[in-house]
């Protein structure tokens, strides 16, 4: 499927849509989720729109995937005492609604058996 419109993440990267940015470098941006599912809920997004999901990213640019994980850890160290869940939704039936690869960093008092809801 070819995407004709830029994703909301591309629009955030391009500063067309505001976001509460908590980290940014040349290859990724991280910002607070607008509908948090946990006390800490940050989305880490590669600045390239070349990969729809984590499987494409893993095969196409494993170093970028490693960097996404590294940034997730840094965010969790700063905001959640270093303990976190890292979630990639992969496919529509798994809850992926934006087909620009991204990771959800959830932390801050989560309990076993929950996916992060407050």
Residue 63: φ, ψ to 5°: -65, -40
Q: Which residue has the tokens 């910002």?
A: 31
| Cα→Cα distances 50→25, 54, 57, 73, 98, Å | 18, 11, 8, 23, 13
As given in the structure block, the two tokens for residue 108 are 């801050």
Catalytic residue among 41, 67, 100, 102: 102
Residue 106: φ, ψ to 5°: -115, 135
100 flagged as catalytic: no
Sorted by sequence, the CB contacts under 8 Å of residue 17 that are 6+ apart come out as 8, 11
Question: Is residue 28 a contact partner of residue 46, using CB atoms and an 8 Å limit?
Answer: yes
Task: Catalogue the active-site residues.
Answer: 102
């Amino acid at each position: 499927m070819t995407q004709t419109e830029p994703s909301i993440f591309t629009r955030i990267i391009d500063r067309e849509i505001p976001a509460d940015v908590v980290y940014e470098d040349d290859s990724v941006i991280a910002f607070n989720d607008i509908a948090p599912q946990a006390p800490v809920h940050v989305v880490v997004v590669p600045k390239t729109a070349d990969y729809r999901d984590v499987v494409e990213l893993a095969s196409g640019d494993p170093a970028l995937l490693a960097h996404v994980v590294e940034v997730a850890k840094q965010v969790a160290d700063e905001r959640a005492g270093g303990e976190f869940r890292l979630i990639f939704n992969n496919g529509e039936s798994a809850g992926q609604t934006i087909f620009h690869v991204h990771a959800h960093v959830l932390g801050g008092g989560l309990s076993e058996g929950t996916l992060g809801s407050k």
